[in-house]
Structure formats: structure tokens, C-alpha cells
Amino acid sequence: VFTPDTWPSWAEDSMWAPELHNVNGRYIVYFTARGSNGQLSCGAALAQSSDPFGPFLDIGKPLVEAAESIGGAIDPHYFKDPLTGKDYLLWKEDKPLTFQPSLIYIRELSPSGIFFKGNPVILLSSNFENILEERLVAEAPWLMFSQGYYYLFYSSAWTTEAKYHIRVAVSKKVTGPFERGHMPVITTDWGRYKKGLNCSFVGPGHGSVVELAGDWWLIYHAWLYGSLNAAPGRVMMMDKVRWKNGWPVVGVPSDSPQMVPYVTNNAV
């Protein structure tokens, strides 16, 4: 996306969690980067042509900053509401002084995708009621809509541990309130892991959900078993989302042959 000549002037390093979206006819990359002030912020870069491969130019300043946060503003996610056609950006930050270790925000965007309308709204916050499951972490948001409900996928626990996993919350309004599900969407295969058996992949998280021909597919990353927080690093995975009692679920990362989506030019 960026060359040495087009690297954002405000960004120093720690660039991660990019998302590429077609926002009302123009491709935009939303990303996280650390600024010269040491703070993580969310940025945006605009494609200079109709080609999703760019070239891209940064908008010249962070799109979202979080001055009161220790971790900064991270994990930006774009969502277009199919009911209203409105554009939104979601992201994660923290407010430790108010004992809110993780907050997922949503804020309406202008049709340009690089300016905001209105004020941010908190969709989800971590709390001590579910500390064993979420470990005070709610990050990497991804929003989907189906049959009258909004599904907020998010990741919990620490990304460098086997307990990292994806959860979901549901609401009838895009701005909430959201009700948490009681079971993870996907988690480590604890049945094998706790017995010391090779479960192939651990710590699945930071998922994106893609709809093809009416089916949902979860794209996420995970560590190789035995190589947690070590080389060769996290690998990209994909599994089909199934439904159980109205909730989307995958279960555990698949490590055997699976059906894959059939993609055509008109599959979406």
C-alpha cells in the first residue's frame, strides 16, 4: 500500500490490522499505525484509481486518535448498513482511568469514508463479569447483518496466548445495545490441547466474515501448535460459519479437508 515515497508523514511504525473496502465507489485502506507521539491511531488511505491495488495516498493525518488511551485507537473496521445505506467505522480503544480496559466504538462516516458525522457510540466494553472468558479484552471488531439482526464479531484474551478466540454479540440496532453470546464463535480445540495432543492450530482470532451465495465464511489468523508467539508466526485460516440456536458458530479451527466456497464473478 505504501512505498518509502508515500509512507504517511504522521506514522512512525507498528502498522497493522489493515482493511481494504470499496466505499461508495472508491477503495480505501483503513489501518493502525504508531504516530510520532508514540500513540497508536487509525489511519486511512485513498486509492488514486479504480484499481484495488492502488496506488494509495494517506489522508495526511490520523482518522481516529485516542488521547486518553494507553493502547491507542486500533483495529479499524468499515461497515455499510444495508438497511439505511449509512457508512460507519468501528475501532477499539481503552480508558484505564475509568477502569474500561477495552471499548469498541462505532461512528457514522460521511459518504467519502474519511470524515465523520455525529459522535462515537460505545458498542461493547469489557468488564469483570466475564473476565474468565474475555480476560478484559474486546478488540478486532467486524460487523455483519442478517435477518433483522446485527452481529458484532470480536476477539478476546491476549493475542499471544492459546486462549485468544473470537466471540459475537447481537443487536437489532446498528448502534446497540448488543447482547453477548455465551459461547465462542471459534476457540482452540481444548479437548486435544489440554491432553497435550497436537491440535494443529491455537489462539484463533481477529476474524473477518465474508458472505458468498448466502453462506458466511470466517477468515482469521491462528498460531501453529507448538509455535505459540514464535516463528513462523500466525497463519491465515478460513472456516465456514454455521448456525446454532440463532448464533453463528465455527467451533475449532479445522485441520482436515473441508468444503470451500465456490467463487465466481457474480458470487457475491
Span 247-263, pLDDT tens digits: 999 999 999 999 888 87
Concatenating the DSSP letter of every residue in 190-211 gives HHHHTTT---SEEEEEEEEEEE
Residue 267 clears pLDDT 80, i.e. is over it: no
Residue 85 clears pLDDT 60, i.e. is over it: yes
Q: What is the pLDDT of residues 156-169, one digit of tens each?
A: 999 999 999 999 99
Neighbours of 150 (CB within 10 A): 22
Contacts of 189 (CB under 8 A, 6+ apart): 199, 200, 252, 253
The one-letter amino acid code at 55 reads P
Instruction: Give percent of the chain above pLDDT 90.
Output: 85
Nearest Cα neighbor of 109 from 101, 100, 118 is 118
Residue 99 clears pLDDT 90, i.e. is over it: no
Residue 95: which pLDDT band, with cuts at 50, 70 and 90? confident
Rounded CA-CA distance 97/89 in Å is 24
C-alpha grid cell, residue 241 = 460459519
Rounded CA-CA distance 129/21 in Å is 35
